[in-house]
């Protein structure tokens, strides 16, 4: 099993550009999450999904959109990137809300 | 939103020494998770605690959840360089604006010196 994978690993964007981060899991998990990790702020939840076709807002959803068209994939989109979105993005998945979350290796995004 | 306070923020210990990291919440925790993050990498699940007074161990790492389910500690015995990294606690506080996802502490950075 590959577990949770994220693509790309690194990306540099200019302000105003758009991009999509892809998260894939092969554990048949229902729940998937997108977090961002910033120095001094810890991990903060952006959006999450409790199943295929569903999404919900987390703590810091502004400027991001997500889609869960397939159970194994969870996409995070930035329509118009801003320097404040420079961060490390982590995807995670879990079987249910009462089980541990498995994390991907992260995507390091820099917005100039 | 739920706030989890971790202490200390950073820790430097000599190899072979014991250490403790604390995670405190102002609200009752329905589930408390400990993760380890190596620098520049993703999070690795260590342990999950759900019951008041629960204690779990894995190799040289022991985690406890107090009876009131508001504080957890992570204890490492005879630390090794492989224990270095960032330790994060995460808590399931039930339904909130963020749903049932985890809220995380800001992490404790551990460095183990020879």
Residues of A with CB under 8 A from a CB of B: 4, 33, 40-45, 48, 50, 56-59, 90, 92, 97-98, 100-106
The 3-state DSSP class for residue B52 equals coil
Q: What is the pLDDT of residue B94?
A: 58
- Which residue, A90, A84, A78, is CA-closest to A112? A84
Average model confidence (pLDDT) across chain B: 89
**Interface touch A58/B31, C-beta < 8 Å:** no
**Mind listing the pLDDT tens digit for each residue in B35-54?**
999 988 889 999 999 888 99
CA–CA gap between residue A66 and residue B47 (Å, rounded): 29
- Where does B43-95 show beta strands of DSSP type E? 43-49, 55-58, 61-65, 71-76, 85-92
Q: What is the pLDDT of residue B110?
A: 96
Q: How confident is the model at residue A2 (pLDDT cuts 50, 70, 90)?
A: confident
Could you check whether the bond before residue B11 is cis, i.e. omega within 30 degrees of 0? Answer: no
**Mind listing the pLDDT tens digit for each residue in A14-67?**
999 999 999 999 999 999 999 999 988 888 989 999 899 999 888 899 999 999
**Mind listing the pLDDT tens digit for each residue in A80-109?**
999 999 999 999 999 887 788 999 999 999
Q: What is the pLDDT of residue B39?
A: 81
Q: What is the pLDDT of residue A39?
A: 85
Read off the tokens for A107.
Answer: 């995507």
**Interface touch B106/A103, C-beta < 8 Å:** no
Chain B residues whose CB is inside 8 A of the A50 CB are 99-100
- Which residue, A3, A9, A22, A34, is CA-closest to A75? A22
Which is more confidently placed, B100 or B61?
B61
Chain A residues whose CB is inside 8 A of the B107 CB are 42
Q: What is the pLDDT of residue A86?
A: 97
CB pairs under 8 A between A and B: 59
Read off the tokens for B87.
Answer: 């330790």
CA–CA gap between residue A56 and residue A67 (Å, rounded): 10
Residues B76-101, mean pLDDT to the nearest whole number = 81
Read off the tokens for A37.
Answer: 């990790």
């Amino acid at each position: 099993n590959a577990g949770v994978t994220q693509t790309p690993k690194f990306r540099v964007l200019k302000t105003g550009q758009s991009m999509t981060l892809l998260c894939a899991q092969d554990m048949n998990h229902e729940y998937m999450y997108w977090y961002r990790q910033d120095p001094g702020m810890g991990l903060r939840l952006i959006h999450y999904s409790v199943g295929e076709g569903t999404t919900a807002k987390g703590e810091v959803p502004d400027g991001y959109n997500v889609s869960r068209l397939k159970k194994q994939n969870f996409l995070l989109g930035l329509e118009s990137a801003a320097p404040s979105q420079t961060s490390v993005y982590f995807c995670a998945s879990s079987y249910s809300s009462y089980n541990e979350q498995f994390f991907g290796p992260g995507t390091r995004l820099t917005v100039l | 939103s739920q706030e989890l306070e971790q202490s200390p923020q950073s820790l430097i210990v000599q190899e072979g020494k014991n250490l403790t990291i604390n995670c405190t919440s102002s609200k009752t925790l329905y589930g408390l998770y400990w993760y380890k993050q190596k620098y520049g990498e993703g999070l690795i699940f260590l342990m999950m605690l759900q019951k008041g007074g629960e204690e779990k161990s894995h190799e040289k790492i022991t985690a406890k959840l107090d009876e009131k389910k508001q504080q957890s500690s992570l204890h490492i015995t005879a630390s090794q360089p492989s224990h270095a990294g960032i330790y994060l606690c995460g808590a399931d506080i039930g339904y909130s604006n963020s749903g049932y996802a985890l809220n995380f502490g800001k992490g404790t950075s551990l460095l183990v010196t020879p």
